[in-house]
Chain A
Amino acid sequence: MPKKVVSIIVFPGSNCDRDLNIAVQKYMNVNTKLVWHDDPSIPNQEMIFIPGGFSFGDYLRSGALATKSPSIKEVIRLSKKGVPIIGICNGFQILTECKLLDGALIDNHKRLFICKESFIKIENKNTSFTQNIKKNVVKFPIAHAQGRFYTSEGNLKSLEDNNQIVFKYSSMNGKTGKSENPNGSINNIAGITNKNKNILGLMPHPERAVEFKENNDGVCFFKGLQNLL
Chain B
Amino acid sequence: MIYRVYINFKKGILDPEAEAIKKTIDNMGYNTVKRISKGKFFDIEISSSKNTLKDLEKISSDLLSNPIIENFRIIKK
Contact = CB atoms under 8 A, between A and B. Distances in A.
Interface of A: 60-61, 64-65, 67-68, 96-97, 103-104, 106-111, 150-152, 184
Given A64-B63, A68-B63, A111-B20, A152 B68 contact: yes
B67 to A, nearest CB: 9
21 contacts: A60-B63, A60-B64, A61-B66, A64-B63, A64-B66, A67-B63, A68-B63, A103-B68, A104-B69, A106-B69, A107-B15, A108-B16, A109-B16, A111-B17, A111-B20, A150-B13, A150-B68, A150-B69, A151-B68, A152-B68, A184-B14
Nearest to B15: A107
A107 B16 contact: yes
Contacts of A184: 14
Nearest to A64: B63
Nearest to B64: A60
Classify the interface of chain B: helix, strand, loop or mixed: loop
Interface in B9-65: 13-17, 20, 63-64
A38 B63 CA distance: 18
Contacts, number: 32
Interface residues of B, number: 11
Interface of B: 13-17, 20, 63-64, 66, 68-69
Contacts of B20: 111
Contact of B16 (A60, A67, A96, A111): A111
Nearest to A148: B14
B16 A97 contact: no
B66 to A, nearest CB: 6
Nearest to B69: A104
B47 to A, nearest CB: 21
A104 B13 CA distance: 11
